[in-house]
Amino acid sequence: MDFELSPETKMFRDNISEFCRRVIAPRWVEIDEGGRIEQDVIRQLASQGLLGLVLSEDYGGQNGGFLEAALAGEELAYHAPALSLAVLYLLQNSWPFVVELYGSEEARGEVLPRVCSGEALVGIASTEAHGGSDVASVRLKAERRGDKLWALNGEKSMVSLPSIIENMPWGGGWVLISRTGKIEDRHNGITNFLALMKRGGETDSSISYKPWTEFARRGLDTSIVTFNDTLVEDKYRLGEVNRGFKIAMEGFNLARCLIGAVTIGCARWLLEQGVSWIKQREVFGKPIATYQAISFKLADHLKELEAARLLCYKAAWVADKYYKEKREGFGLRDLAYLGAMSKLKCASLAFEIGEDVMKWFGGASYFKELPIFRAWLAVFSYVVGAEGTENMMRLIIAREALGREYV
Ligand SMILES: Cc1cc2nc3c(=O)[nH]c(=O)nc-3n(C[C@H](O)[C@H](O)[C@H](O)COP(=O)(O)OP(=O)(O)OC[C@H]3O[C@@H](n4cnc5c(N)ncnc54)[C@H](O)[C@@H]3O)c2cc1C
């Protein structure tokens, strides 16, 4: 076992880090406060090859590995810890990959190069108002209209990206999880489509959205998205009819590996802020870092951060073995298990670290003049639910350990 990155991977990470330091770090607070990622920032991410990094060169991607994607995600989040950019980035390195795996040649050729060039975005539309955790219960209906079309009707209650997609030069949309079988068929009645809200600069008027008001991670919106007799050509179907559940889980697994990485980047930034503060803040005549109530907490957090990072890198490494190297002995269940662990461990750790760092800053942390709250609360989006709640991650891990009959 070798814990050292190859010289090429190290150089890649260092280049991304330098780009983020120069271009991204000066703007992250403005993005969070303004509630908007401007187009020029998206173009800059694309120019570094970060959008669709893991996609094939045939579609304009870098054919990068998921470990590289994790390293880049960590750097991006470290330099922009309010996470909007990191979320946009990780979505473009998980859901378009699902399109590459299961989309028709026509759909891939049309959309993926535009993701890589920063002209289009692809996210995920899964959650519905009756309970996002139970993906097998989705109700949004897809029904055949003739041989070549499907009609989508229904609502997704929390979907990231719509207002950014509306402003993209070409457009974009979501991997949409829909009901094609009977509701009691559950997993066996689900089909996925690439549902484009904007295509070739034209917005589809049958898709509307209403943004939620977010208290953090404000650079991108999360909205209720309604599909009102939206017509989708069959060429945008992803995989076989009624076999979409497992395909959707592949996207979630990959996203969860990368969520681990971006929340680690965020935690790293939070801890650095904390360390520099506790070394200089003197109370009762000496730096508060000299009080063991504080330094022991720091030691625990550093230990956990190291362990969490290794877990997340391992999940990404397994994704590379399975998808990129097609190595025997690595399967989707390994990825589901480690992806769930990566998200569960890293996001909750980053949130705990954020809470302690806020406390180390005392009352000053409560005011918006200090940016720490932006990172802390951004991580909370992943603790409460985005791409699966903590309990759902536990359910996946326990199911793997105990067998389906116990969970
Ligand atoms: C900022 C943000 C962005 C998001 N972006 C997207 C997006 O782009 N696309 C998208 O599709 N969704 C998105 N979501 C939604 C997210 O995926 C859901 O919030 C998540 O899947 C949980 O669904 P829910 O909120 O309906 O909670 P519910 O499913 O109603 O769960 C409520 C609580 O019950 C617990 N629970 C449920 N079942 C069990 C069980 N069997 N055992 C133990 N506990 C259980 C859950 O863990 C949770 O704590 C986003 C959410 C947030 C906060």
Say how far apart CA 283 and CA 13 lie, in whole Å. Answer: 39
Is residue 112 one of the residues assigned to a domain?
A: no
CA-to-CA separations, 257 to 26, 76, 91, 336, 389, in angstroms, rounded: 27, 15, 11, 9, 14
Is residue 116 one of the residues assigned to a domain?
A: no
The response to whether residue 126 sits with its C-beta less than 6 Å from ligand 1 reads: yes
Distance 131 CA to ligand 1 centre (A): 7
The response to whether residue 344 sits with its C-beta less than 6 Å from ligand 1 reads: no
pLDDT per position as a tens digit, 53-91? 999 999 999 999 999 999 999 999 999 999 999 999 999
The response to whether residue 98 sits with its C-beta less than 6 Å from ligand 1 reads: no
CATH number at residue 230: 2.40.110.20
Say how far apart CA 343 and CA 351 lie, in whole Å. Answer: 12
DSSP assignments along 115-153, one per residue: HHTTSEEEEEE---TT-TT-GGG---EEEEETTTEEEEE
* Domains of the chain: total: 3
Task: Judge if pTM exceeds 0.95.
Answer: yes
CATH number at residue 67: 1.10.540.10
The response to whether residue 292 sits with its C-beta less than 6 Å from ligand 1 reads: no
pLDDT surpassing 90 at residue 407 = no
Say how far apart CA 217 and CA 31 lie, in whole Å. Answer: 9
Q: Are residues 230 and 302 in the same domain?
A: no
The response to whether residue 80 sits with its C-beta less than 6 Å from ligand 1 reads: no
Tell me how many degrees the CA angle 208-214-220 measures, rounded to the nearest 5. 65
303-306 long-range CB contacts below 8 Å, 24 or more apart?
304/349, 305/264, 305/267, 305/268, 305/271, 305/349, 305/353
Q: Are residues 236 and 301 in the same domain?
A: no
Q: Are residues 260 and 361 in the same domain?
A: yes
Q: Are residues 264 and 398 in the same domain?
A: yes
Residue nearest to atom 52 of ligand 1 (CA): 386
pLDDT surpassing 90 at residue 385 = no
Tell me how many degrees the CA angle 47-53-58 measures, rounded to the nearest 5. 95
Q: What residues make up the domain containing 146? A: 121-242
Is residue 32 one of the residues assigned to a domain?
A: yes
Q: How confident is the model at residue 1 (pLDDT cuts 50, 70, 90)?
A: confident
Distance 389 CA to ligand 1 centre (A): 5
Distance 166 CA to ligand 1 centre (A): 25
* CB-CB contact of 340 with 397 (8 Å): yes
